[in-house]
Structure 1
Amino acid sequence: MPIKLEHILKRVHALPSLPTAAVKVVALTKNPTTTVKELETVIGQDPALAAGMLRQANSAYYGYARRISSLQDAIVMLGFQVTQGLAMASAVAPMLKTTLVGYDIDQDGLWKHSMLTAMAAKRLCQYLKLSFGEIAFTTGLLHDIGKLVISVYIQEVNTYLLKKVQEAKFSYVELEEKVIGYNHATVGGFLAKNWNLPDDLVEGISFHHSPLNAPNYTELASIIHVANGLSSLLNTGGGVDSFFNPIQKEILDRLALKENDLERLLADIGEFLVDPAIFG
């Protein structure tokens, strides 16, 4: 039952836009001339966004001994790129906290899986001494947003997909494309582009299941691919497809990651699951 592109795009455009302040924060944090005051002013115009950011900033994940009580403190202490991740997490949380019947995802499942993937992506960058950890965090946070669009189509064919994925030598995401015409990663890229997000985020989302096909940001897409796989291994509610989209060996080889590296990373990121400020 291949779906026409016009129908996919119609559902993409029907989803709520990101808060204007969050989109501005992404743009501002990429501009080297931006000041702390400019960021504080933009975020302060959206009280819900500001409150969500401060809640996240005070979670154990960021590890500050004293309470961060103002936006200025958060921006100065955590830095511009971390601020970008905080803003995006606070902006998309209501959207990601939704039940997706097609993927058998409960109300908090996609949020937990997305946050843990973001954390795993940043941790991977630290582990591999890569400089784009905060970009990877934001990309990991948004990597599965395409599921918001195509879950309704998956619902109609999920039994068939699960049957075929166990019979054939295809991953679940490959079967999504064969049966529906589009997979959730590609559709996520459409959505990110519709939100006017930067090219690196769009590409990291679009190719997180096929990093070697990414034209410009293969390394970022590879990090998200592995982070997504690690998060799935911790069973964080990413969906019925989680165990049928395994981490590709060629991507592990490309990043020079061995089994013992993955075990260590799993132990590191698993500790964050007990943080009530994020997962409570």
Structure 2
Amino acid sequence: MANPFNQFFQRLFGTEQESKTKSPPVADSVTPETVPAVENVLPVVVENTLPPLAVNTTVVPAAAATQIVEINNATPSTEKLQIWKPAIPIDTLFFDWIMGYPGEGSVADTEQKVLQALYGLLASDLNDAVVVPRMPSVIPQLLASLRNKSVAVHELTRLIIKDVVLVGEVVNSVNSALYNPADRISSLEKAVIMLGEDGLRFVIAKVAFRPIINLSAGPYTRRAAPHLWLQSEKCALACHALSDHKENNGYDAFQAFLTGLMKNVGLIIAFRLLDQECEQPKFRYSAGFQHAMASVAATLSYRIAQRWDFPPTVIQALQQQAGGRKAVEWTALGQLLHDADLISKMRVLVNQAQLSRNDQQLKSGLNPTMADCFDNLNTLQAYELRNVSTNG
């Protein structure tokens, strides 16, 4: 039986996507025989430059080792892109915050136990519904209808009404300040007309990803999931906003939006595994553990995107976030995702009083476009993006 996510994204991006270059394969040629003991992984100062998986004495099964992918297998960019390196350790501050800060408890034993489980997960079948939930059946049906230009409004309404969450998102969207109707719109059919095809795509994408991000399990996931969803949505919005100012090399603004939503999928799965492996609700961890967990989570995100048949440019951008032994040859979308991820984390941390908005270093190195994105990220909504049609 076909994977529902494969069907979803085939319909989302259209049949023309299938004729393009296929997704970069997982490299089976890289087969390190061991995984690092976390205490020997050196902390990295530069944001998002994750430590290599150095050889040590903790043995990993060969099947898991084949899943540890070197970033240099991605197709090189045609130009050297410079990424922004924040003066403040944004990734570390954000990770500490969603973890609830390091607590008392074991260090090496717990870290090694979690990392062994994470590498085991990389060797597993990521299509397993236990790891990644299935998408509601209405979503692929609705996206297929949206690609049909002759579809009637009443047909779209009939499909949307099957999903109560989708109904709520559509109605709330048209009652936002952007549309500012004289009277609140409660008619779903009228809301569909006002949003138009592009607006519906953004709303559907957000609704489709929400159950993946908001998985509830143990204390780590319950604490992290709401924050990760908030940051994921802002990252997607930042990706879209920044894409307006980029020379888009092989991707469009909606693909950038989806790439931002996809960024944290691997991390939320890693938190679910953390719930399974850790009995204590908090534990003290090293900087090396944080970087290793982030790298594995990024690898999970791009491998899941690969299995879901995302466009190659999206898969490659996600793959580049995992770091590696060699310097990353950034693509335009990979650079954009890196910047949007950090900007959205900054925005969330400032909103939650974890960073001061008056910190002189906060915007150090940001160009005017990125600074403007940070300043306005709170006011953006998925249905308020520039290419949303209000003409029905």
Range of TM-score over shorter length: 0.5 to 0.7
List gaps (5 residues or longer) in structure 1: 166-171, 238-256, 274-280
AA partner of residue 318 (structure 2) = S
Task: Tell me the CA shift for residue 17 of structure 1.
Answer: 0.6
Match of 1:251 in 2: none
Task: Tell me the CA shift for residue 28 of structure 1.
Answer: 4.3
- Judge conservation of contact 2:259–2:318 (CA < 8 Å) in 1: no
| 3-state secondary structure, aligned to 1:53 | helix
- Counterpart CA distance in 2 for 1:121 and 1:73 is 29
Match of 2:151 in 1: 35
AA partner of residue 180 (structure 2) = A
In structure 2, relative to structure 1, the CA distance for the partners of 1:193 and 1:236 (3 Å cut) is: farther
AA partner of residue 264 (structure 2) = D
Q: Does 1:226 align with 2:339?
A: yes
Aligned match for 2:237, one of 111, 116, 119: 119
Match of 1:50 in 2: 167
Deviations 1:199-238 (A, max 9, x none): 2686267336169668xxx43333322211111111359x
Q: Does 1:139 align with 2:259?
A: yes
1:59-98 equivalences under 5 Å are 59-60=176-177, 63-66=178-181, 67-98=184-215
- Counterpart CA distance in 2 for 1:121 and 1:50 is 25
Q: Does 1:188 align with 2:308?
A: no
Task: Tell me the CA shift for residue 97 of structure 1.
Answer: 3.0
Task: Tell me the CA shift for residue 271 of structure 1.
Answer: 3.5
TM-score (norm 1): 0.65
- Judge conservation of contact 1:112–1:236 (CA < 8 Å) in 2: no
- Between stretches 117-126 and 70-79, larger displacement belongs to 70-79
- Counterpart CA distance in 2 for 1:59 and 1:231 is 22
- Counterpart CA distance in 1 for 2:349 and 2:145 is 32
Task: Tell me the CA shift for residue 33 of structure 1.
Answer: 3.7
Give the RMSD, CA atoms, in angstroms.
Answer: 3.9
- Judge conservation of contact 2:306–2:315 (CA < 8 Å) in 1: no
In structure 2, relative to structure 1, the CA distance for the partners of 1:270 and 1:5 (3 Å cut) is: closer
- Counterpart CA distance in 2 for 1:43 and 1:135 is 22
Deviations 1:124-167 (A, max 9, x none): 123447582233223322321112322244566996864327xx
The aligned length equals 236
Task: Tell me the CA shift for residue 68 of structure 1.
Answer: 4.5
Q: More relative contact order in 1 or in 2 (CA 8 Å, sep 6+)?
A: 2
List gaps (5 residues or longer) in structure 2: 1-115, 351-364, 382-392
